[in-house]
Amino acid sequence: MSEKVFGLTIRLYDFSETSRIGVFWTREHGKMRGLARGAKRLKSSFESSLDLLNACSIVLIRKASGLDLLTEAQVRERFPALRLDLSALYGGYYLAELLADLTQDHDPHPPLFDEALQALRDLGQPGVATAPRLAQFELVLLRELGYGPALDSCAACGSDIGDDVLAYSAAAGGIVCRPCQNTFRERRPLSVEGWRAMRNIRLGGDGWKGLDDPATRREVRQMLDDSMSYLLGRRPKLLPYLGS
Ligand SMILES: [Zn+2]
C-alpha cells in the first residue's frame, strides 16, 4: 500500500553504500521513516530533494514488517532564509533534533507540525531573533507532548504562587512554590520578568517578539534548556550552538 504525505525532513542517515533512511515529521501521521534506495547515487530519482529541513511531498510504500520504502520525494517548500544566518540554521537543526528525538512514530500532532513550519519560515528573517522564536516552538512542543510547564501555580503542590519568590524546576514540570523548592534541588531562581516572558510566549501569537531584555532572554533559554535536557535525558546536541 502506498501513501502520499507531506512532511518535513528532520533526519537523514546512511543505510548502505547507496541507500539512505529519511525521517519525516508529517502533519497527518506524525513521525515516519522510509528507506530511500539509491539515494546516494549521483543520478538518483531523489536528486536534491532529500535534504535536511526541506518540506516534501513523499510517497511511502508501507511494509507489514521492516522499513517502509520511500519511492518519491518532491520539494514543496525550502526555507532559504535559514541559509543566510548561521544562528537561524542551527536553530532549524535544533528544531529538527527535538522533533526527531522527542516525538514517537505515527503519533500525529497537527498544531506542532504547523508551528514547526511557521518557525522555519520565520527564522532568519529580518528582525527575528532565533532563540525567542524557538522558545515559542518549544512551548508548543512541550504542550503537545503533555509536558507543558505549569506557570500559573506550583507544579508540585498546585498552590498559588503570585509574586512570591519564584523558582523553576524541570523535574517538577514548571514553577515551584517556596516550600516545594526544597524538594527540587535542581530548581533555578526565576525573576518575575522571566516568569512573565514565559507566560507571554505560551500565549502564542507574537508573545516571543517582546523578548528584548538580554537577561530575561537568558532566563527563558535556561528554563527551556533544563526542560528539554530533562525530557531527553541528555543535553540536546545542538544546544551549544544556540545563543539566547
Ligand atoms: Zn508547591
d(CA 234, CA 122): 28
For the chain, residues classed under CATH 2.40.50.140 are: 2-77
Q: For residue range 30-79, list pLDDT tens digits in order.
A: 999 999 988 877 777 776 788 999 999 999 999 888 899 999 999 999 99
Distance 182 CA to ligand 1 centre (A): 10
* Mean pLDDT, rounded, for 183-192: 94
Distance (Å) from CA 149 to ligand 1 centroid: 14
Task: Report CA(232)–ligand 1 centroid distance (Å).
Answer: 25
> Exposed, middle or buried: residue 182 (CB in 10 Å: 0-12, 13-18, 19+)?
exposed
Query: Residues spanned by CATH 1.20.1440.120 within the chain?
Result: 81-241
pLDDT at 210: 87
Rounded mean pLDDT, 83-94: 96
Query: Per-residue pLDDT averaged across 94-114, rounded?
Result: 97
Report the pLDDT averaged over residues 226-234: 97
**Residue in 90, 136, 137, 132 with CA at minimum distance from that of residue 217:** 132
Q: For 143-186, how does the pLDDT look when each residue is reduced to its tens digit (9 = 90+)? A: 999 999 999 999 999 999 876 779 999 999 999 999 999 999 99
Q: Which residues surround ligand 1, an ion (CB under 5 A)?
A: 154, 156-157, 177, 180
CATH number 1.10.150.300 is the correct assignment for the domain at 81-241 = no
Distance 181 CA to ligand 1 centre (A): 7
- Residue 66's pLDDT is 82
Spacing, Cα 121 to ligand 1 middle (Å): 39
Instruction: Give me the pLDDT at residue 48, please.
Output: 76
- Residues whose CB is less than 8 angstroms from the CB of residue 171 and which lie 6 or more positions away in sequence, other chains included: 184, 186, 230
pLDDT of residue 47: 67
What 8-state DSSP symbol labels residue 209? G
- For the domain 2-77, what is the CATH superfamily, name and number? Nucleic acid-binding proteins (2.40.50.140)
Q: At 211, is the pLDDT very low, low, confident or very high (cuts 50, 70, 90)?
A: very high
Q: Tell me what the pLDDT averaged over the chain comes to.
A: 93
Average pLDDT of 191-209? Answer: 92
- Looking at residue 49, its pLDDT comes to 84
